[in-house]
Amino acid sequence: MAQPPVALMIQGTHSDAGKSLIVAGLCRLFARRGLRVRPFKPQNMSNNAAATPDGGEIGRAQALQARACFAAPSVHMNPVLLKPQSDTGAQVVVQGRVLGQSQARQYFAERQSLMPAVLHSFQLLAAEADLLLVEGAGSPAEVNLRANDIANMGFAHAAGLPVVLLGDIERGGVIASLVGTKAVLAPADVALIRGFIVNKFRGDPALFEAGMARIEQDTGWPGLGLIPWLPRAGLLPAEDAMQIEQRQVRQGAGFRIIVPRFPRIANFDDLDPLASEADVAVEFIAAGRPLPQDADLILLPGSKTTIADLVFMRQQGWDIDLLAHHRQGKPVFGICGGYQMLGRWIDDPLGLEGPPGRIAGLGLLDLETSLDAHKIVGPMQGETLIDAVPVQGYEIHAGRSLGTALARPLLRFADGRLDGAVSADGLVAGCYLHGLFASDAFRRHFLAQWRPERRSQVSYELQVEAILDELAAHLEQHLDADRLLALAAPVRGHSA
C-alpha cells in the first residue's frame, strides 16, 4: 500500500545561510534513492527568476531544486515570488502570474490573504510526491515580521511541518545565532524545531565538537550534522544578488568581461556559464568604481527597474565609460533590461517598474522600448540568425522593442519569432533571451568572435549535474539522511 507523502522544512538563522543549496542537495540525495521529491518555498524574494513550461515564473533556486529532483519546474514550487523594485516596494507574483505591485508595509499587513494559495500549491505538489522539502525565507528570528507570516513558522504551523534550523558558521557567531533564535521565538514555534545543522564549516571538525555540544545543551535540539565547505557548490546558480559580492574574480584570465552592478540587477546567473570558462573573468563593478577601460567586453545584465537602473548608471558615470569602451572598437552586449538600455528610448507609461516616465537610452542600437502590462514568460529554443548556432533559454519581460536595429536580429526562435539586434559593425548586440550562455555551442561561438584561437572544453549543463551529484554525496557523508527522512511528517489531507 502506498505511503502518504511526508514533508520537512529547512529554515535558517538568517538570509544566505545556505538553505537553497542544502535543499537542492537533499532533493538530489533522496531522488537518487528513488523517492519522488519536490521542492517548495512558500514565499521567495528575488529578482533571479526562472520560467516554467506553462509560462509562469518562480525563484531561480526552486528551478534548480526541481532539476535536482529530476522534475520539471512548476509555479506551485514557489507560489509567492516578490521581485524588489525599490527599497520598500516589490512586484508580487502569485502562482506564476503577476498580481500587482505592493509597498512593504502594505504587503506585510495583507500577506496572510495569500496563505490559501500557498497551501493550495503545497497540496497539489504533495499529490505527486513522496517527499516535500520546504525551504523557509530569511529567518524565523525576525520576530518583528512574525504576524501574518507565510514564509517560515506561520507556514510551518498552517501545514503542520517539523522544522530543522540551519546555521552558517562562515559568518561567525553560529552558536549565538542558533541559541539566540530559540530565545526569541514563541514557545509554540520552538516546539516545531526538531534539530539543527551547522553549515559552511572550514577546518578540523574536531575543533567544533564542543560547539555542537554547547548548542545542543542550550537549545535542547539534537545536532543533525556539521557540513564542511564545498567550494564547487558556489558554481551553482545563486538565488539572489547577495552572493555577487562573494564571488572572486579569476586573476590572469585571458578575456575580461565587465558587468555593471545595478541596484535591481535581475537574472545575473546568466553570467555563470561565462565565468565557468577557465580563460574568462567576469567582474561585477560596484557603485563608486569606474568601468575598467582594459575590459574586453562590457555586458549589461537584466534589470527589474530598467529606467531607474539606467539613471543609476549615469549617476555613476558608467555611461561615459561604456561609450569610451565602444569608441575603442570593443564589444558591448545587453540582456533583457540591459538590451533595452542600449536603445534610443525607454518608455514606461503605466509605471510598471516605478513612476511613469520616458528616458533616453544609450543610443547604441536604433530601437525604442515601451513597457506594457502583458508580460512574456516562457522557455524558448532557437538559433542564431546568421550562423544557425543552436540556443535555448527563457523570456521574462514586459517590454516591446521597435526600430530599424531589428532588421539585423540576433536570434530566430523555433516558433518563428525574431529576437534581439546586432549593430551594423557587429560591436553592439543584445536580446531578451535569458540563459543563452548556458548553451555550450552559443557560448563558444560568442567568445570565438573576439578570441578566434580559443578552444573551450566546458560543458556547462553537465557541470551543473555533476555538482548537484557532488553536493548530494557531500550531504550523505556529513548528515544523517535517514534521521532527516524519519523527522518528516505526513502531509495533512493525504492518506495512503
| Residues forming the active site | 336, 434
List the grid coordinates of 413: 526562435
| DSSP secondary structure letter of residue 351 | -
Residue type (1 letter), 217: Q
Handedness of CA 478, 70, 273, 42 (dihedral sign): negative
C-beta contacts of 138-141 below 8 A and 24+ residues apart: 138/12, 138/14, 138/15, 138/45, 139/11, 139/12, 139/13, 139/14, 139/15, 139/17, 139/181, 140/11, 140/165, 140/181, 140/185, 140/189, 141/13, 141/14, 141/177, 141/180, 141/181, 141/184, 141/185
Q: How far is CA 246 from CA 25, 231, 468, in A?
A: 20, 12, 20
168 in helix, strand or coil? strand
- Strand duo 163-168 + 193-201: pairing: parallel
Between helix 460-478 and helix 440-448 the angle, nearest 10°, is 120
Element (H, E) at 419: strand 418-419
**Cell 559568518 sits at which residue?**
171
C-beta contacts of 311-314 below 8 A and 24+ residues apart: 311/359, 312/262, 312/263, 312/287, 313/260, 313/262, 313/341
- Of 107, 153, 112, 114, nearest to 9 by C-alpha is 153
